[in-house]
Structure 1
Amino acid sequence: MPAPTRRSFLALGALALLCGCTSGPDKARRPAVEDADRPLRLRQLAATDALLADYDAVLAANPGDADRLGNLRDDVVQHREALAQSLPAASPASSPAASPSASSPAARTVADLAAAELRTAGLRLADLAAASPALARMLASASASGAAHAAALGDTGPIAADGPSPAPSASAAADTEALQSALAAEHAAVYGYGVVGAFLPAGPQREDGRAAYAAHQSRRDAWQRLLAAGGASPTAAAPGYRLPFPVKDAATAGQLAAHLEIQLTAAYADLCATTALRPQAATALRECTLRAAHWGADLPALPGLTPADPADPAPTTGAG
């Protein structure tokens, strides 16, 4: 997908503060973590190479789609580079991609390519439980990107991952802290969507806004219940939030919706680093990524892992 613009990272000022990304893994632990992650990275690299081979085959058969498919393929190359970071012996991303595995049919059409994206997104999720926190964040982000690619190619079907998701829990202190941050982000998103809905015209846009508003209310309520069940006091919503720019019509309302979803991807990428909440966090990350794309956001190759541009202009005061 296209590289993110400055504007794609503007969002509620308070939400940006609540959704700071976690730092990288502790250097003292990195060698052991990398050794444990190595089989997962190699497996994911093989799947990524197969997907790149599919892109090459479909690009060759559809030269008129070169711009659209090429942009999506560039994202997959970035996924590969991220996976290969601690594998110096791995072939560079610029080398010819490996042939697809015998178990997966080679893509010949754009529809085949969309199916391959969903299949690869499922493989990312299947390795979440065994991955280190840093790799889990990357895999969940790449899976969300794959879902967005598939949607852009016309396939909005579900992603299949191996095995059922465990029941969510937030007993560990780190899990609780990350969940509180996600809850705070959802509080801000609910507030923001209240503003969005006031400026959308009757029809499909307003219905989309209502659906997103309801989805964030539901996610907020689920996190509150989970925290309370674990004995924690859920973070309360602020009385109001400062908007990053004035919202005065449907166009700026749609922009705000896109920005809200972009910021939420950072909170959920961080939540993917927890141990007990990874499946639920990955689902939330994917849903926010898909909604951001629906509202017209320029998504980075790895949603939630790209920091905001520090040169962005300061937010202006809106409703609050």
Structure 2
Amino acid sequence: MQPPSRRTLLTLGLLLTAGATLTACTDGHADDPTAPAGDHRRPDPDEPVRLRAVAATDTLLAGYDALLPQAPQLQPLRAEVAQHRAALQPTTTTPPTTPAASPSTPPPTLAALAALERQTAQSRLADLGAASPQLARLLASVSAAGVLHAVTLGDPAPGATPTPTPTPGEPATAFQDALGAEHAAIYGYGVVGARLTDDQQRTDARTTLAAHQSRRDAWQRLLTSTGATPTAAAPGYQLPFPVTDAPTATRLAAHLETRLTTVYADLVAAAPAPHRPLAADALRDSALRAHHWGATPTPFPGFPTTPTPSTT
């Protein structure tokens, strides 16, 4: 690969959306011999993971349903959880019925519901290694949305996930895009900090810049340990729009983090299974920061459109 020219300016939007190229997964299983005559559907290897995810989502929906009569303002969050269930639902089985809350059980508190959202988000990540690349990407996105729900309900923001030990010889292609995106984000936050006037926002920008520098350093160490040469930062990056004052600076910060959610959602699908939790952690952090800087919330962080239920 030719090193970048010192005069080369790369577009932030293009760099941040240039996630790892994903290949479609094909199923090599034979047709299910127990299927009815004329039914040529193939068994879905992701079905056990999907069923666990749907069961956890049903428990979460029951918690929302129990609390909604006292807290109707939770309806938008409940609607997003229902979208998660639809996207996770396997199509090769009869959809299970969402359990209703027992009338004898007192409704949970907001704090209990927040804790349940966080626990459910964590359970999504436990299945990343067992899922196909595309389902792993979806699970990481839904997990990030769950953490956003938990924070909205009053739960504190999570800590960082430790960087896994790399395996020598792992493919480096999936990680170079993430490193390039962090280079671009670091440049962007230099511009953001220079245009902010509020002391708290400037502090937030410095803290976020340090977090992206730490993430960049982690990717560089990982790539070096696998024998790859980390991509160097370009001399400069073209901004997606003019940044002339505090409002456009906060808009740029939200733009940077939103684009990074796409990069890291793609990385969850492209990275080897041991590194999926780290990519999911980065996706979650960028989703939280995008929300902090005023980006419009989405039920599926990192997805440009709402995922459709699985098909086989």
TM-score, normalised relative to structure 2: 0.82
Distance 1:169 1:293, change over 3 A: farther
Matched residue type, 2:83 = Q
- The aligned counterpart of 2:99 is 98
Separation (CA, whole Å) in 2 of partners of 1:154 and 1:255: 25
- The aligned counterpart of 1:26 is 25
Q: In structure 2, which of residues 170, 173, 177 is the aligned counterpart of residue 172 of structure 1?
A: 170
Q: How does 1:108-187 map to 2 (within 5 A)?
A: 108-158=108-158, 166-169=164-167, 171-173=169-171, 176-187=172-183
Q: Deviations over 1:174-205 (max 9, x none)?
A: xx111001001111111111110101124110
Q: In structure 1, which of residues 296, 300, 305 is the aligned counterpart of residue 298 of structure 2?
A: 300
Is residue 79–residue 301 contact of structure 1 (8 Å, CA) maintained in 2? yes
Separation (CA, whole Å) in 2 of partners of 1:53 and 1:231: 49
Is residue 14–residue 241 contact of structure 1 (8 Å, CA) maintained in 2? no
Matched residue type, 2:18 = L
Separation (CA, whole Å) in 1 of partners of 2:163 and 2:232: 28
- The aligned counterpart of 1:236 is 232
Distance 1:298 1:21, change over 3 A: farther
Q: How does 1:17-56 map to 2 (within 5 A)?
A: 17-19=17-19, 22=22, 25-29=24-28, 35-56=44-65
Separation (CA, whole Å) in 1 of partners of 2:106 and 2:140: 24
Separation (CA, whole Å) in 2 of partners of 1:185 and 1:193: 12
Provide structure 2 residue ranges, at least 5 long, that are not aligned to the other structure. 1-10, 32-41, 307-312
What is the total number of aligned residue pairs between the two structures? 282
Q: How does 1:273-312 map to 2 (within 5 A)?
A: 273=269, 274=271, 275-306=273-304
Q: Which secondary structure state, in structure 2, belongs to the residue aligned with residue 289 of structure 1? A: helix
- The aligned counterpart of 2:205 is 209
- The aligned counterpart of 1:259 is 255
Q: Which secondary structure state, in structure 1, belongs to the residue aligned with residue 248 of structure 2? A: helix
Shift of 1:229: 1.3
As a proportion of its length, which structure holds more helix?
1
Shift of 1:305: 1.8
Separation (CA, whole Å) in 2 of partners of 1:267 and 1:48: 26
Is residue 18–residue 184 contact of structure 1 (8 Å, CA) maintained in 2? no
| Sequence identity percentage | 54
Distance 1:147 1:48, change over 3 A: same
C-alpha RMSD of the superposition: 2.8
Separation (CA, whole Å) in 2 of partners of 1:30 and 1:196: 51
Q: In structure 2, which of residues 87, 94, 101 is the aligned counterpart of residue 89 of structure 1?
A: 94
Q: In structure 1, which of residues 64, 67, 74 is the aligned counterpart of residue 79 of structure 2?
A: 74
Separation (CA, whole Å) in 1 of partners of 2:17 and 2:118: 32
Matched residue type, 2:70 = A
Shift of 1:86: 3.5
Separation (CA, whole Å) in 1 of partners of 2:301 and 2:263: 11
Is residue 61–residue 108 contact of structure 1 (8 Å, CA) maintained in 2? no
